[in-house]
Amino acid sequence: MSATISQDRLFHRCPLGCSNDLQTSAITLTEGPLLRCAMCSQLLSSCTRGQYELALRKWDTSNGTTPAVQSVARFQQVTERRLRYALRLRGRLFPPPLRLLDVGCSSGALLAVAAKLGFSPSGVEIASKAAETAQRAGFDVFCGLLHEARFADESFDVITAFELIEHLNAPRLLLNECHRILKPEGVLIINTPNAASWTASVMRECWDGFSLSSMGGHVSFFSPRSLANLAGQCGFRVERLETRRVRFAESHQVSPIMYRILKVMGEVLNIPASLLNKGHDMLAFLRKM
């Protein structure tokens, strides 16, 4: 069923360029039913532009997305693993230090890890308070949108965009600009929730990945299929795409006993979910063609 059109709605067409009308899905959130592109299966928020802009303010704090104290070690471990894989894809072709750009760098947590690994890191961040924190830490961070930074063509070896693309109402603009400023054979790493995951299928509107307000502006929900489609449109090929993690409930949604049971079930399904691209945490390494 085609979605009822509201003039103030953020999405009227699929942002990946599909020509089909958007349809309403069976998943209903506070803002209304999620919209679905019949051609590429992209899911989209039915929020208004005002709701979207208000939600984006969540991350404009001096701490930004700085990991909590108990999560710092895990964040560093995961980030190092991702960047080392990018080095394997890229490192032998160019002498160090490789130039890295973190788009949506917030207060600079990833930039610090990249610097320790030997990258020459820079960042772009639209939230001014978070950007100022990164700048005070000594990092080269532009406050604004990526295209406003006006980087020269072929400036970077690696670009990271972690937990960013789901916030964008025009993701093709981002990938096209990344393509322009990456060096030949450069690597773009994207991390985003997987809307085709078992977690999303089971939790539906209860999944925080779909939440506009609690996640600070999640509006565009990718699957492995739609992300690969976008990458191809913008001149990238998928070198590696992986998904991980399965969750069936949050601790506050069910009894403690049921939560423990569902948590064990999710852990058991982690391996098959990874093999079938059904985990809810999606990571893609894209190479510039």
Rg (CA), the chain: 19
Per-residue DSSP letter, 280? S
How many angstroms separate the CA atoms of 41 and 117, rounded?
38
Residue 119 phi/psi, 5-degree rounding, is: -70, 160
Residue 144: which region, alpha, beta or left (left: phi > 0; alpha: psi -120 to 50)? Answer: left
Residue type present at position 127: A
DSSP 62: S
pLDDT, position 85 = 92
Q: Are 39 and 20 in contact (CB under 8 A)?
A: yes
C-alpha dihedral sign at 246, 206, 42, 85: negative
- pLDDT number for residue 1: 52
Per-residue pLDDT of the chain (289 residues; tens, 9 = 90+): 555 545 689 999 999 999 878 999 999 999 999 999 999 999 999 999 999 999 998 888 888 888 887 888 999 999 999 999 998 887 655 556 899 999 999 999 999 999 999 999 999 999 999 999 999 999 999 999 999 999 999 999 999 999 999 999 999 999 999 999 999 999 999 999 999 999 999 999 999 999 999 899 999 999 999 999 999 999 999 999 999 999 999 888 999 999 999 999 999 999 999 999 999 999 999 999 9
Structural domain boundaries in the chain: 59-288
As its CATH architecture, domain 59-288 has: 3-Layer(aba) Sandwich (3.40)
Q: How much is the pLDDT for 59?
A: 81
On whether the CB atoms of residues 215 and 56 are closer than 8 A, the answer is: no
d(C-alpha 210, C-alpha 218), whole Å = 6
List Cβ neighbours of 256 (8 Å cut-off, separation of 6 or more).
none
Could you tell me the sign of the dihedral formed by the alpha carbons of 194, 197, 200, 203, in that order? negative
pTM: 0.93
- For the record, the structure tokens of 143 come out as 């406050």
Reported as type and span, the H/E element at residue 246 is: none
Q: Give the span between the Cα atoms of 245 and 167, in whole angstroms.
A: 21
Residues whose CB falls within 8 Å of the CB of residue 69, separated by 6 or more in sequence, listed in order: none
Give every CB contact of residue 77 below 8 A, 6+ residues apart in sequence.
Answer: none
**109-116 vs 72-90: helix crossing angle, rounded to 10:** 50
